[in-house]
Amino acid sequence: MPDLEVPVLIVGGGGCGLTASVFLSDLGVDHLLVERRATTSTLPRAHYLNQRTMEVFRQHGLADDVYRISAPTANIGEVAWRTSLAGDGELDARDLHRMDAFGGGSTAEPYAAHSPCPSTNLPQHRLEPLLLEHVRGRAKRTPLFNHVMQDFTQDEDGVTAHVTDRSTGRTTTVRARYLLAADGGKGIGARLGVPMRGDGWAFDVISVHFSADLREWWSGDRVLITNFVSPDGGPVSRYGMVAMGPEWGRASREWALHFHVPPGADTTFDEHTAADTVRGLLKLPDLDVVVHQVGHYRPEAVIADRFRVGRVFLAGDAAHRQPPATGLGLNSAVQDAHNLAWKLAAVLDGQAGDALLDTYEAERLPTAQRNVEWAMFAFRNHAVIHAGLGLLPGQPPEVTRANFRDLLADTPMGETRRARAAEVFATQRVEYQAHDIEIGFAYAAGALVPDGSAAPPRDPWGYVHHPDARPGHRLPHAWLDLCGRRLSTHDLVGDRGGFVLITGDTDDVWAAAAARAAAACGVPVTAVTVSPGRHRDANGTWATARGGPRRGAVLVRPDNHVAWRGGSPGPGAADELTAALRRVLGRGE
């Protein structure tokens, strides 16, 4: 007999597992979270939170707390490239390029138009404790840190796991109907025989998390990331640094410096060695540096063959791992948890059939594939920039320095070289202006009913976004006015599950159809009319994005993705909507 029975067991207490716990708690699903670490992350690791993730946090009452301590848009709106941070040599501390990014500067208008939530920056060692506070305040069961799942088995009815308290050695047998593997790829997928396929690299990336006062030298208050391309050559000549707060811009006190060394080079760093490396790379030999931690990782771009095996679901790094470029790792993990949570809740509550759970893989695996490929492409594109600066592998240091002198020279040819470099630098917008990649992903198949419409175009550069209320797409954001109160279309869907039917029908035919469909399927369906005198389309945005006739209807899932879109209501509106809802819930056509 098990010592404990729960509907869902979450293994992993990082960003994916913690957000899954919050979402399940809001949806009324009892669960237990276990995490092998004694505490949340002590490394900054992931830090960029894109608009889609912040929309999810807004839906579940997390966004305000995140924004309270994260970087404002004014402090993340630019990325810089420099030869070095400081130094007094002829090629030191020279700007090479600057790019607007993440909703700042020239990118501000489209980012603000398409989402109620700006992007932000909050490193993982600050985000995870905040998430844990919300987990403890919402979950019925206390999350178990410093606990490891030793093994598990599954059968047709559930999963049996053995969980050991690492401080006492006591093992508890847990019986769960479903297991969510958010363990960062630490073994559950391998035990299930699910391979991770893709690319990996042999070199180590070293991350030094440190504190220092850099306000005299940092690239500017708008700059979040500075990429360094050194004319000096040597084993470390390309590296990057990110502001990590807790204040922002030049006032940031903490930083993460990332670099890689050639295969075979010494990658053993202690606190003293790392501090000297920081001083040397920044060309600040007398800088007061406090090293907090040194991390190592090997970049890879891999994805699991399957995201569901029986009653076990892989999410986050257990399902896909990618280079840090574009910041899609943690954001994808949060969105995995968001996609799966409402489906687990619906099945556990008897509202949906098991087929609904199959749509998790059908929807999230292709999305992860696109994200992994994009991150790899953006990561490798930095080499294109280096080539555009005249840097070639194996090039003698004196040639590199000569190339930089020519690039920065006040001559007609120097001007031409800089113009060419600017063209090449602009290609890195695939990383720093990936607006459509972040919010424009759509599900081609899954918990949705296609309407036969053509998909909107996708910008090959990943920037230009075309909002569309087509089934499978994220619900377009539009500002609505309700008796003087401003709210987003995203706010129409709450955090407790249930569907929303958005319509322009002022005769309430669709409202009656929603009530009948809800009764027939046993799920909440709230009808909302967008029209003058009700929810007014404040800027005309919804009328453009919804598609179809004015009196048509858009059925929105609990995760703010469109499930179905119908035309003007006729006598069979209720039957049409009910059939669509049944299909979405995996209960037949």
Question: Check: CATH 3.30.9.10 for 71-121+202-298?
Answer: yes
- Mean pLDDT rounded to a whole number for the chain: 95
Rounded to an integer, what distance in angstroms lies between the CA atom of residue 448 and that of residue 462? 24
- Whole-angstrom CA distances from 338 to 56, 313, 525, 543 are 7, 13, 19, 27
pLDDT at 107 over 70: yes
C-beta of residue 397 within 8 angstroms of C-beta of residue 355:
no
Quick one: DSSP state of residue 455? P
The CATH number assigned to the domain with range 444-584 reads: 3.40.30.120
Helices (H) and strands (E) in the chain, counts: 16, 27
501 touches 554 (CB < 8 A)? yes
Q: Which residues make up the CATH 3.30.9.10 domain(s) of the chain?
A: 71-121+202-298
Comparing 190-204, 273-287, 512-526, which segment has the lowest mean pLDDT?
190-204
**Six token digits for residue 82:** 């420099």
**Residue 589 binned pLDDT confidence (cut-offs 50, 70, 90):** low
Q: Using N-to-C axis directions, what is the helix angle for 397-408 and 412-426, rounded to 10°?
A: 100
Integer CA distances (angstroms), 559 to 9, 475, 500, 521, in order: 21, 9, 11, 18
Average pLDDT over residues 257-263: 83
What is the distance of C-alpha 397 from the center of its chain? Answer: 39
Amino acid 296: pLDDT: 85
In this prediction, residue 202 carries a pLDDT of: 63
User: In the predicted model, is pLDDT for residue 166 greater than 60?
Assistant: yes
Q: Is the confidence at residue 487, as pLDDT, over 90?
A: yes
Q: Hey, is 589 helix, strand or coil?
A: coil
CA 163/CA 221 separation, integer angstroms: 47
How do residues 221-253 score in pLDDT, each as one tens digit? 999 999 999 998 777 788 999 999 999 999 999
Report residue 266's pLDDT band, with 50, 70 and 90 as the boundaries: low
Q: Which amino acid is at 583?
A: R
Find out whether 110 and 435 touch, Cβ atoms under 8 Å. Answer: yes
C-alpha span between 501 and 511 (Å, rounded): 8
| CB neighbours of residue 491 within 10 Å | 17
> What confidence tens digit (pLDDT) does each residue in 537-577 have?
999 999 999 988 889 999 999 999 999 999 999 999 999 99
Concatenate the DSSP letters of all residues of 176-240 into one string: EEEEEE-STTSSHHHHTT--EEEEE-SSPEEEEEEE---TTTSS-TTEEEEEEE-TT-SS--EEE
Higher-pLDDT residue of 202, 518: 518
> Please, are residues 584 and 448 in contact by the beta-carbon 8 Å criterion?
yes
pLDDT recorded at residue 103? 97
Taking each helix axis as running N to C, give the angle between helix 328-348 and helix 355-388, from 0 to 180 degrees, rounded to the nearest 10.
180
The domain defined by 1-40+123-192+305-422 carries CATH number 3.90.1300.10: no
Looking at the chain, which residues constitute the CATH 3.50.50.60 domain(s)? 1-40+123-192+305-422
Ranges for all domains in the chain classified under CATH 3.40.30.120: 444-584
Is 154 in contact with 44 (CB distance < 8 Å)?
Answer: no
Q: Is 326:380 a contact under the CB 8 Å cutoff?
A: no
User: Mean of the pLDDT values across residues 422-439?
Assistant: 98
Query: Both tokens of residue 368?
Result: 């992860």
